[in-house]
Amino acid sequence: MSSHPPVRAVLWDFGGVILSSPFEAFNAYEAAHGLPRDFIRGINATNPHDNAWAKLESSRIGVDEFCRLFAAEAASRGHALDGRIVLSLLSGRIRPEMVAALRAVKRRYKTACLTNNVATGDGPGMARTQEQAAAVAEVMKIFDLVLESSKVGVRKPEPRFYEIACERLGVRPEEAVFLDDLGINLKPARDMGMRTIKVAAPAAALAELAAILGHPLD
């Protein structure tokens, strides 16, 4: 018998789960401009709680200061890179199969979007065009709660970010499932008692979610 109570809420990361991963855009830019593969990701993963990226996502600094700090971090790794270019790569493609699953889940469970984002672009998805912003806005309407790091001042993987989500949904961590594409973001949620799913391939992640919920996603 499972030691978990019944699921009452499903929490979703946005970029890399509902949207295609920004890492895909990063890699394409790197390949086109002669940078080592995963160079941008490596910068963002170094000193992850206090680097330029972390400070921008929690609104501790603005874009200009981010660009100055990010350029210094890139230079320390041997390459010149403008932070504004990196910000322009953040908006991914909406994954229709994930949106369909979100709609199905919404009929039975509370839902929340937990997104690390920055106060640039348009809305939680950091859209760069009006068409993209409109499409993201329609997805955001599905969620019961949208929690943005740039607005609450904390970010994944800080435990307080997950605590806020649970408090606002009125659930305990043990009653929640959380989907994210980064293991570093899943670990604190799991430590709090959430069931977690690492999203690499959407189909596999959705099959795992259906197994946890105990019924098809329809």
CATH number of 40's domain: 1.10.150
Which structural domain range is residue 203 located in? 9-19+92-213
1 inside domain: no
The verdict on 131 and 98 lying in the same domain is yes
CB 87 within 8 A of CB 128: no
The verdict on 76 and 42 lying in the same domain is yes
Q: Which residue has the higher pLDDT, 133 or 198?
A: 198
pLDDT tens readout for residues 41-89: 999 999 999 999 999 999 999 999 999 999 999 999 999 999 999 998 8
Question: Which of these three, 88, 123, 140, is where a domain ends?
Answer: 88
2 inside domain: no
Question: What pLDDT, on a 0 to 100 scale, did the predictor assign at position 183?
Answer: 95
202 inside domain: yes
The verdict on 73 and 114 lying in the same domain is no
> Across all residues in the chain, what is the average pLDDT?
93
| Helix (H) or strand (E) segment spanning residue 68 | helix 63-76
CATH number at residue 196: 3.40.50.1000
Q: Which residue has the higher pLDDT, 185 or 3?
A: 185
Please choose, from the candidates 200, 183, 171, the residue with its C-alpha nearest in 3D space to the C-alpha of residue 10.
171
Q: What is the pTM of this model?
A: 0.86
Q: What is the token pair recorded at 128?
A: 């760069």
CB 115 within 8 A of CB 152: no
The verdict on 70 and 168 lying in the same domain is no
The verdict on 79 and 130 lying in the same domain is no
Pairing mode, strands 176-180 and 195-198: parallel
Question: What pLDDT, on a 0 to 100 scale, did the predictor assign at position 1?
Answer: 40
Judged by average pLDDT, the poorest of 26-30, 108-112, 118-122 is 118-122
The verdict on 33 and 115 lying in the same domain is no
The verdict on 207 and 99 lying in the same domain is yes
E strand segments, the chain:
9-12, 110-115, 145-148, 176-180, 195-198
What average pLDDT does this structure show over 96-119?
A: 96
pLDDT at 127 over 70: no
pLDDT at 126 over 60: no
Question: Which of these three, 49, 65, 88, is where a domain ends?
Answer: 88
Question: Which of these three, 88, 115, 132, is where a domain ends?
Answer: 88
218 inside domain: no
Cβ contacts of residue 35 below 8 Å, gap of 6+? 29, 79, 81
The number of domains in the chain is 2
The verdict on 41 and 117 lying in the same domain is no
